[in-house]
Amino acid sequence: METMKAIVCEKYGLPEVLKIAQRKKPMPKKNEMLIKIYATSVTNSDIFIRSSHVDPQLIVPFRLMMGFTRPRNPILGEVFSGVVESTGSGIWRFGVGDHVYGLTGFSLGAYADYLCMKETDSKKGCVALKPKNISFEEATSAAYGGLLAFQSLEKRNISAGHKVLIYGASGTSGTIAVQYAKHCGAMVTAVCGPSSLDFVRSLGADMALDYTKNESIRCLEKYDLVFDTVGKRKTSDMKKASRAALKANGTYLSIDDGALLLESDRLNRITSLVESGIIKPVNDRVYPFEQIVAAHRYVEMGHKKGNVAVTVNC
C-alpha cells in the first residue's frame, strides 16, 4: 500500500492533539484529480474544529456535522495549493502538471501530501489555477482570505468616492478587503490593533484606527459600507460604534453572514487580480509541516497579520 504523510487529529483538544502519521495515499476516481499538496494554511476554521470550542447550544449540531469524539476526517485542513499529479478520465479542465489552489470546505484533508478533488464545485470544495506570480504558500492566503472577503464585497459595487470601513483589517480576509476596496477607488478606513496600524497603511488604507482605544471612536465618519472581517464572536466598543457609523443608505456586512461559498469562478477572478498585481496576499508566518502544533498555537492567539501558511512539500 502506498502511503503519505498527514497531520491527524484523533481527538478534539489542544494543539498537541495533532500528530504526524502515515496514511493511505488516495487514488483518484474517474471524476477526480490527485493533487500533490505543496502548502496549506492554519485557518480559524481549523482551530475551531480541532478545539471543538463552540457555544454550548451548538455542541450537538457541531459534533453531528464534524464527528462525535474526533473529526470524521481526522486529516484537517481546508486550504491547499499544489500540483496536479494525475487525473481520472472524466477530468477535462485540468491537466497533469497544472499548479492549482483551492478549498475543501468541511470535508477537510489538506494537511497531507495528497488530496483528491473534483474539478466541479461542490460542498466538498473548489479548485482553480493558482496565480503564477506568487508562491504556493502565498496562494493559500489568496484562496482563503480572497474567497471570504470577495463573497461579501464583490456584489457591493464599491466605486470611486465611496467610504469603506474594514473592521479587522489586519487578518487574512481583512488584508485582502483593504486592497480590493482601494482598487475599486474607495476611501478606506482600516480598523486593527495597535501593532498593525503601519501594516494596514502599507496595504493602501487611507486611515488606520486602533480598536483598543476609545479615542478612535471620535475619528469615525459616516460610511457607505462597513465590513466586519473578524466575525460575530469578537467585538469591542469600536466595533459597536463602527456598526452605527453608516450613511442613511449605508450597508453593514459581517463575514459570518452566510456560509462560505466554494466557487471556482470567484477563485479565477482572484487569480486575475493577483496576477495583475492588484491584490498581494500576505503571509504573517510560514511553518514547516513538522511544526503544525506551533502554527496552531500561534493562530489561536488571535493576532496574526494576514495568513499563516504551512509548507507541506518543497
Ligand X SMILES: NC(=O)c1ccc[n+]([C@@H]2O[C@H](COP(=O)([O-])OP(=O)(O)OC[C@H]3O[C@@H](n4cnc5c(N)ncnc54)[C@H](OP(=O)(O)O)[C@@H]3O)[C@@H](O)[C@H]2O)c1
Where do contacts with ligand X occur on this chain (CB under 6 A)? 43-45, 145, 148, 168, 170-174, 192-193, 196, 211, 229-231, 234-236, 239, 255-256, 259-260, 302-305
Nearer to ligand X, 32 or 300 (CB): 300
Nearer to ligand X, 229 or 264 (CB): 229
Q: In what order do the strands lie in the sheet with 163-167?
A: 207-210, 187-192, 163-167, 223-228, 246-254
Quick one: three-class SS letters along 23-87?
A: EECCCCCCCEEEEEEEEEECCHHHHHHHHCCCCHHHHHHHHHHHCCCCCCCCECCCEEEEEEEEE
As measured in angstroms, the least distance from the Cβ of 93 to ligand X is 25
Rounded Cα–Cα distance for residues 311 and 231 (Å): 27
Nearer to ligand X, 114 or 211 (CB): 211
As measured in angstroms, the least distance from the Cβ of 302 to ligand X is 5
202: CB partners within 8 A, 6+ apart: none
Nearer to ligand X, 185 or 302 (CB): 302
Phi, psi angle pair for 195, to nearest 5°: -85, -5
As measured in angstroms, the least distance from the Cβ of 195 to ligand X is 6
Nearer to ligand X, 225 or 255 (CB): 255
Cell numbers for 112: 497531507
As measured in angstroms, the least distance from the Cβ of 3 to ligand X is 31
As measured in angstroms, the least distance from the Cβ of 296 to ligand X is 13
